[in-house]
Amino acid sequence: ERERLAGFAARPAATTDGFRVEIAANIGTPAEAEGLLAKGAEAVGLYRTEFLFMGSPSMPGEQLQFEAYKTVAESMEGKPVVIRTLDIGGDKELPYLELPKEMNPFLGYRAIRLCLDRQELLRTQLRAVLRASAYGNLKIMFPMISGLGEWRQAKAIYTEVRTQLEAEGAPMAEKVELGIMVEIPSAAVMAHSFAKEVDFFSIGTNDLVQYTVAVDRMNEKVSYLYDYFHPAVIRLIKNVIDAANAHGKWAGMCGSMAGDRLAAPLLLGLGLHEWSMSPGSIHKVKETVSGCSHTDCVELAEQVLELETPEEIRGALTAFLDARQ
């Protein structure tokens, strides 16, 4: 069985009728990028850089960050690597930042909010990523974007940092794509506006579910409500993918839904381009994708959008996969 699945890993992922998707991996450290290509990953769809910061006793400097990003770029041998800028706050602490205690950390001072306030953090990180961009195919993604203002501010800082590095004569990739995580419902609703300006989206279902259904993702007492098959979540996901398609941009997903084979036919039907997951899920998802026809999946997605509860949606998806085993 393992060998059979490994066979799928080596091949690109496409449906029986030739709809091609990119299967990528989520990583937290440069070491995790090693051997990813052999595991069948075609890209890194999410590099959670906060682990570099959390694993350090003080703020990692530009050179240390540069080395880390360069290592990942080189391990992937020119394949895309999406580097997410610092996503700290919420459940993730950095002692040396001395962040204030908050009543609602998940609704508070975290990720891009913190980085736009303490811009030296973001500027240093962007300098490191841009310098590393000379060694591979790096893309930059901003987490926890809630509205266009934050995105525009982040992009303006990027442009300033780039101009400065150019003046210093630093080698860099000519084009570095800039995208946003869609993990706050307000951003998902506004996707058509964002799609005119960003190069790509990556849907973070882990937080998107938390904020859409108002369920703390860490609280087991209410975890029965935490479900990416909630029809409201599916509608938001559809809106994001539709917006990307309407503007010739690409839409990915890096939340755990992307690694769930039950979700795969639905995501295929909605037209998701890039799927980023923990490396252990790659084989199964590739196998599932190659067993489906895109035409059937589009029809399935249309049916699912008529359903009104997570249970009905799970039922329809289970029946769809069972009919294809």
Residues that bind ligand PEP (CB under 6 A): 46, 48, 87, 183, 204-207, 254-255
- Answer with the entry of ligand PEP, Mg ion, none that 205 interacts with (C-beta below 5 to 8 A by kind): ligand PEP
Helix (H, G, I), strand (E, B) or coil at 180: strand
Instruction: Give φ, ψ of 42 to 5 degrees.
Output: -100, -5
Give the span between the Cα atoms of 234 and 48, in whole angstroms: 24
| CA 161 to the chain's CA centroid | 24
**For residues 48 and 131, which CB has a smaller minimum distance to ligand PEP in the complex?**
48
Helix (H, G, I), strand (E, B) or coil at 86: coil
**For residues 102 and 311, which CB has a smaller minimum distance to Mg ion in the complex?**
102
- Answer with the entry of ligand PEP, Mg ion, none that 296 interacts with (C-beta below 5 to 8 A by kind): none
Q: Which two tokens stand for residue 207?
A: 């937080």
Residue nearest to Mg ion (CB): 207
CB atoms under 10 Å from CB of 26, counted, come to 23
- Answer with the entry of Mg ion, ligand PEP, none that 212 interacts with (C-beta below 5 to 8 A by kind): none
- Answer with the entry of ligand PEP, Mg ion, none that 239 interacts with (C-beta below 5 to 8 A by kind): none
- Answer with the entry of Mg ion, ligand PEP, none that 42 interacts with (C-beta below 5 to 8 A by kind): none
- Answer with the entry of Mg ion, ligand PEP, none that 254 interacts with (C-beta below 5 to 8 A by kind): ligand PEP
Give which of 161, 68, 91 is closest to 122, Cα–Cα: 161
| CA 183 to the chain's CA centroid | 9
Question: Is residue 183 near Mg ion by the rule CB under 5 A?
Answer: yes
| CA 90 to the chain's CA centroid | 18
Q: How far is the CB of 181 from Mg ion (least distance, A)?
A: 6
Q: CB under 8 Å to 73, separation ≥6 — which residues?
A: 81, 132, 133, 135, 136, 137, 138
Q: How far is the CB of 319 from ligand PEP (least distance, A)?
A: 27
Interaction with Mg ion in 194-213: which residues (CB under 5 A)?
Answer: 204, 207
Q: Which two tokens stand for residue 18?
A: 């030739």
Q: How far is the CB of 206 from Mg ion (least distance, A)?
A: 5
Question: Is residue 50 near Mg ion by the rule CB under 5 A?
Answer: no
Name the site residues for Mg ion (rule: CB under 5 A): 183, 204, 207
